[in-house]
A = this chain, B = another copy of it.
Amino acid sequence: MKALVYHGPGEKAWEVVPDPVISDTTDAIVRVEATTICGTDLHILKGDTPEVASGRTLGHEAIGTVEAVGPGVTSVQPGDRVLVSCISACSRCQYCRDGHPGQCTGGGGWIFGYMIDGTQAEYVRVPFADTSTYRVPEGTTDEEILMLADILPTGYEVGVLNGGVRPGDTVAVVGAGPVGLAAITGALLYTPGHVIAIDLADARLKAAADFGADLTVNNGSEDAVAYVRSVTGGRGADVAIEAVGVPDSFELCTSLVRAGGRVANIGVHGKPATLHLESLWIRDITVTTGLVDATSTSTLLRLVESHKIDAARFVTHRFALDDILTAYDAFGRAADTGAIKVMMTR
């Protein structure tokens, strides 16, 4: 089969590799019918994650059809159309049993396109298939369901649930890229009073408004802290969600938030940030970090199925799977192309 293979920093190729085979009783082999690219894939390609071995097939999001299952798989059958989640859940370790498979110590967690071969390929081996795949509901499209592989659960769990968004809250989302838009989408499920999108790019702020942010601030040209105070009677935001991954945006979040507020970090950081405890120690602030657990996937599937979430609008560009290198180019130059998520299909 063909797969998108990482060959060290800056190097990738769409090339022939061996077909995956079942190697564990709980494995499934899935024929990939749609996949997408995540910002994390770009990080890996830059060489930011040296633990990724050269020769690794990238990608951790897919929809496809089950081709074969190991003898221990009971929930899915060959022929089933399934969503392949970015998180593999062994379901046996304490973290999985506590509802945190993102921290799985039993061989799961985030492993696709990282520790094992991923989904940007014609076929993929899916470990722990019973607890890491979801039947695609009737009457839904690949575009919308594919967004549940990673981005929507990430925005919802790591941003919105960790942030404890409640009806009437003022929610500031710093960073209006794909993950920020997913956080906005998730926050709106709780009917906040205001969703304030903050970004340096007007094009992304426009996207944020399209996705439902009722207020937007370009913090290159405007003082975001002053703005948030002005719309909250001086208090600050109830919740600030970090969706960039650099120290400045994290520190901005801790400045935006009211006494008693919450900062939910989603961004993937490469450097430490400064935590201004000299002013924050007294302010009852909660800061959370997290990798998605994908435990909200069933709920989000139900909401997409009942048209309560419009997931399809994340997909701005479509390609054939064989044109994945072109897709990477479009996604990598998002500022020019306006790409939010790109989809590659068979």
B275 contacts A275, C-beta separation under 8 Å: yes
Question: Which residues of the other chain, B, contact A275 by a CB distance below 8 angstroms?
Answer: 250, 272-275, 287
- Nearest B residue to A269 via CB reads B277
A39 within 8 Å of B by Cβ?
Answer: no
Bound CA–CA A193/B306 (angstroms): 7
B167 contacts A299, C-beta separation under 8 Å: yes
A329 within 8 Å of B by Cβ?
Answer: no
Min distance, Cβ A232 to any Cβ of chain B, angstroms? 10
The size of the chain A interface, using a CB distance under 8 A, is 68
**Docked complex: A68-101 residues within 8 A CB-CB of B:** 71-72, 74-75, 89, 91-92, 94-100
A167 contacts B303, C-beta separation under 8 Å: yes
Question: Which residues of the other chain, B, contact A306 by a CB distance below 8 angstroms?
Answer: 193-194
Question: Which residues of the other chain, B, contact A308 by a CB distance below 8 angstroms?
Answer: 167-168, 191, 193
Interface residue from B97, B269, B284 paired with A289 (Cβ < 8 Å):
B284
Interface residue from B92, B103, B168, B270 paired with A303 (Cβ < 8 Å):
B168
A64 within 8 Å of B by Cβ?
Answer: no
A300 within 8 Å of B by Cβ?
Answer: yes
Counting every copy of the chain, the complex holds: 4
Task: Please judge, given known A-B contacts A131-B91, A190-B191, whether A281 and B289 are in contact too, CB under 8 Å.
Answer: yes
Bound CA–CA A156/B25 (angstroms): 36
B131 contacts A92, C-beta separation under 8 Å: yes
Min distance, Cβ A293 to any Cβ of chain B, angstroms? 8
A189 within 8 Å of B by Cβ?
Answer: yes
A274 contacts B271, C-beta separation under 8 Å: no
A252 within 8 Å of B by Cβ?
Answer: no
**Docked complex: A93-148 residues within 8 A CB-CB of B:** 94-100, 102-103, 106, 130-131
Mark interface residues in A255-286 (1 if CB within 8 Å of B CB, else 0): 00001100001011111111111101111111
A281 contacts B245, C-beta separation under 8 Å: yes
22 residue pairs from A and B, CB less than 8 Å apart: A25-B25, A25-B72, A26-B72, A92-B130, A98-B99, A99-B99, A102-B284, A103-B283, A167-B189, A167-B308, A168-B300, A168-B308, A189-B191, A191-B191, A193-B302, A269-B278, A273-B277, A275-B287, A281-B290, A284-B290, A286-B286, A287-B288
